[in-house]
Amino acid sequence: MKIKFNKFERVAGVFVGVAIIGSVAISAAVAVKKGWFAPKVEYHTYMESAEGIHPGTQVQRI
């Protein structure tokens, strides 16, 4: 059984397909820009005195 679509049904189908693909692409672009897929590493350290150290201070690994 072969289904025939008229011109308006084909145009509507293409529009819906493009809208879905565009939504997925925009969602992925926003997720990448916000860093949702970026690897995240968290470090913890404990010390007796942390004078002069605050969040964002650059440190070196010895």
CA gap 28, 34 in Å, rounded: 10
Check whether 61 has a pLDDT greater than 90.
no
**Greater pLDDT, 57 or 27:** 27
Q: How far is CA 46 from CA 15, 36, 51, 56, 59, in A?
A: 57, 28, 13, 16, 14
Q: What is the pLDDT of residues 12-54, one digit of tens each?
A: 999 999 999 999 999 999 999 998 888 888 877 787 887 888 8
pLDDT given at position 11: 96
Give phi and psi for 53, each to the nearest 5: -105, 135
pLDDT given at position 39: 85
Model's pTM, two decimal places? Answer: 0.58
pLDDT given at position 10: 95
| DSSP one-letter code for 8 | H
